[in-house]
Amino acid sequence: MNSILLKATGIWLLIVVAAIVNGVLREKVIVPMIGMETALPISGVTLSVVIFLFSLISVSFIGASESKTYLKIGMYWVLLTLLFEFIFGHYVVGKSWAELIQVFNIQKGDLFILVLLVTAFSPWLSVLIRGVGRPKNS
């Protein structure tokens, strides 16, 4: 299980890099072109697709044999994502807790909840799609 956890963490770190690149592109390219109101949901959907693709590509690397392991990996990725979002956002970027909570504000176009759902279920869905290792449903 330790090697699975290490592999899952490595994949998540790559996802974080992709998420940061997505955010920079949103702020520096997309927002100036079309505004935050439209850029924010586009960025959320784009990041969700990227996370799913990372999962789809990397699932055979993980090598677990049970479906529940992939569900656990998804939940682990969600936990890491939330910790990163709030700890990095508050202590490194300097955002207030109130500002950070705004990632859950769907009314302003933030689709972070979608990103978390995709993150949670992508490993499991990827295994089902790819048939990697034919995981048991236990």
Instruction: Answer whether residue 20 is part of any domain.
Output: yes
pLDDT tens by residue, 29-84: 999 999 999 999 999 999 999 999 999 999 989 988 888 999 999 999 999 999 99
Q: Is residue 137 part of a domain?
A: no
Q: Is 138 within the bounds of a domain?
A: no
Cα dihedral: 28, 43, 56, 13 (round 10): 50
In a domain, 44, yes or no: yes
Contact 22, 43 (CB under 8 A): yes
Residue-averaged pLDDT of the chain: 92
Give how many domains the chain has, as a whole number: 1
- Confidence category of residue 136, pLDDT binned at 50, 70, 90: low
Which residue in 43, 56, 47, 53 sits closest to 18, CA to CA?
A: 47
Range of the domain at 45: 2-130
Residue 108 maps to a domain: yes
